[in-house]
Amino acid sequence: MTLKLHCFGESGHSYKAALTLELGPLDWEPVYIDFFNGATRGDAFREDVNAMGESPVLIDGDVQLSQSGVIQDYLSEKTGRFGGSTPDEKREILRWILWDNHKLSSQAGVTRFLLHFLPPEKQPKPVIEFLQGRLQGAYSVLNKHLTSREWIVGRSVTNADLTCCGYLFYDEPYGFQRTDWPAIDAWLGRIEQLQGWKHPYDLMPRAFPGAQS
């Protein structure tokens, strides 16, 4: 049975789930969410797809899941991959997923939206500067952690890597430059070399296909 992922290309949280599906590898297909025209705010989406009004949502037969970290955990149960091999590794992966969602991806997603998807006259400059400062701290934590290791947890790629990379492959400017963080840059390069890796815009349909990638 083909799994369906409700998603859109500009969503870094959707990318985490899409990349986990692709690397699985699993038989899946994207279902486009017209986020920028308000699809997730509509009654139909909230009643039939996700009451939280968020992307991504995974459909696997009778199973319907939201929240990228939960989806990744579910996919690891299906494939036996990326979920850690010991209880200690599983807890450490969860720790990094929670850290990423609170400290890295949440801040990067909002900052990128404010800087790239709002017109300049509507951009709240003090808010953007505050978020970029918070992100500098998150990049520093991740870069230091990766200085002495190839992967965030253990000796191979896990969901810790596939969550923390969610927004870092996007090229739209929001204050992150790979070359400023050598250990992160090298780690992203290792992810790019994984069999099946694809850029988010090559995995999911885009709202703005003619825009900068």
Q: What is the pLDDT of residues 90-112, one digit of tens each?
A: 999 999 999 999 999 999 999 99
Q: Is the pLDDT of residue 193 over 80?
A: yes
Q: Is the pLDDT of residue 157 over 50?
A: yes
pLDDT computed for residue 1 by the predictor: 84
pLDDT computed for residue 73 by the predictor: 97
- Which one is predicted more confidently, 154 or 211? 154
Which of 188, 212, 210 lies closest to 19 in space, CA to CA? Answer: 188
CB 163 within 8 A of CB 16: yes
Strand, coil or helix: 203: helix
> In sequence order, which residues have a C-beta less than 8 Å from that of residue 200 and are 6 or more positions away?
9, 10, 12, 14, 15, 18, 19, 169, 170
The pairing of strands 57-60 and 3-7 is antiparallel
pLDDT computed for residue 97 by the predictor: 98
The stretch 128-142 carries a mean pLDDT of 97
| DSSP 8-state assignment for residue 116 | H
Q: 3-82+198-203: CATH homologous superfamily?
A: Glutaredoxin (3.40.30.10)
Which pLDDT band holds residue 208 (cuts at 50, 70, 90)? confident
In the chain, % helix, strand, coil (3-state, to 5) comes to: 55, 10, 40
Residues of the chain with CATH 1.20.1050.10: 87-192
Which residues is 4 bridged to in the sheet? 29, 59
pLDDT computed for residue 110 by the predictor: 96
Q: Is the pLDDT of residue 213 over 50?
A: no
Distance CA 55, CA 203 (A): 15
Which pLDDT band holds residue 210 (cuts at 50, 70, 90)? low
Q: Is the pLDDT of residue 196 over 80?
A: yes
Residues of the chain with CATH 3.40.30.10: 3-82+198-203
Tell me the pLDDT tens digit for each residue of 45-102: 999 999 998 999 999 999 999 999 999 999 999 999 999 999 999 999 999 999 999 9
Q: Is the pLDDT of residue 202 over 70?
A: yes
Whole-prediction pTM: 0.94
The average confidence (pLDDT) of the chain is 95
Distance CA 91, CA 97 (A): 10
Q: At what angle do helices 68-79 and 87-99 cross, to 10 degrees?
A: 150
Peptide bond into 25 cis (omega under 30): yes
pLDDT computed for residue 125 by the predictor: 96
Class of domain 87-192: mainly alpha
